[in-house]
Amino acid sequence: MKESLLDILRCPMDKHELELEDAEYGENGDEIVAGTLVCVECGERYRIEDGIPNLLPPDMREETPA
């Protein structure tokens, strides 16, 4: 995902902003391929997996990624 996408992405639960942690960038530098998005309000953590953020509510997420 592009870092600019963070401007519009929000925590699905409380709609607060997300902070990027542990970001890994792709070869050309403008794509985040892995990392974690953390809600500044509730602290819920959402993983970026293979470049796609998983922003499903916690109870719709699979416990162990396939």
Partner 1 sequence: MGDRQDRSDDRSRRDTVRDTYDRIASHFASTREYAWPEVEAFVDQQTAVDEGIGLDLGCGNCRHAELLAALDGVGPVVGLDVSRGLLETGRKRAREREFAVGLVQGDAATLPLVDDCVGVGIYVATLHHLPTRESRRRSLDELARVLAPGGRALVSAWSTAHSSFDETEGFDTTIEWTLPDGETVDRFYHIYAPDEFEADLRASDLELLEWELSSGNCYATVAGDGGGGEVDAQSVDY
Q: Which of 34, 57, 63, 64 binds partner 1 (CB under 8 A)?
A: 57
CB neighbour list of residue 14: distance below 8 Å, 6 or more residues apart: 39, 41, 42
Q: Does 54 bind partner 1 (CB under 8 A)?
A: yes
Identify the CA nearest to 55 among candidates 4, 3, 6, 2. 6
| Shortest distance (Å) from residue 39 CB to partner 1 | 10
Q: Which of 2, 30, 40, 42 binds partner 1 (CB under 8 A)?
A: 2
- The helix/strand/coil state of 44 is coil
Q: Which residues bind partner 1 (CB under 8 A)?
A: 1-2, 4-5, 7-13, 15, 46, 49, 51-57, 59-60
